[in-house]
Amino acid sequence: MKMAKSILFLAAAFLAAAFISSCRTTRPVGAPVAPLSASTPEEAMAQLRAKRASFRGVRSLMRVRAITKEKTQSFRAQLVVHDARRMELHAYTPVGTTALTMRADGDEVSIENHLEQSAWEGNSSDLARSLGFLGAGLTPAEMAMLIVGIPPRDDLDYAVEASGLRRAATGDLVVTFEPPSFPAQRVVVVHGGDRVEVEHLEVVD
């Protein structure tokens, strides 16, 4: 992948962004996502599964810090999960212009590098060769749902508090929620030697 070194690192922050017509950073439009009303972890997981079953999309403005063996990079991004298959990520430059746009529909992924005027298309298996996070058996949309605090599938290993997810893991991918909450507030994703820290600044539906 010729452009992997220049743009796929940004995509690792996730895979997770709201589609906006402006090239400038804007606040996501919508109503704030309501927290859970559970009093026990069991009630919380039942409510989260119900949210997954009726999921109609969510948007988040995020602050991201991505750390790999090669470098550390911090930036803002917008995330939208349209449904269980489709998501978008827009990563921004320090002055607020769009640096990268990533779109995924199931396993199919497209990435635009707006700074270099280049593009890439492939599937999540191709992308996983550069981004280990996608090699954990989750599609980009499933990972995006998890980052906002919704369990995308039941076959992951979850730890839950009454306020929301505390931890989720599959294989050597570990996602920690600090504090446990829905919608998520701060999320740490660790896979091998790579680490992505996400702070949700605003989450709307």
- Positive or negative torsion for Cα 1, 6, 200, 178: positive
CA distance 119 to 166: 36
At residue 137's C-alpha, the angle toward residues 70 and 175, to 5°, is 60
* Residue 181: per-residue pLDDT: 97
CA distance 81 to 142: 9
SS3 for 44? helix
* Residue 193: per-residue pLDDT: 83
Residue 78 · residue 20 · CB < 8 Å = yes
* Residue 194: per-residue pLDDT: 86
- 4-204 folds as outer membrane lipoprotein receptor (LolB), chain A (2.50.20)
DSSP string covering 148-195: TT----TTSEEEEETTEEEEEEETTEEEEESS--SS-SEEEEEETTEE
Residues of the chain with pLDDT under 70: 1-27, 128-136
- Number of Cβ within a 10 Å radius of residue 100: 25
Stated pTM of the model: 0.83
DSSP 8-state assignment for residue 6: I
* Residue 125: per-residue pLDDT: 77
Q: Where are the domains of the chain?
A: 4-204
SS3 for 196? strand
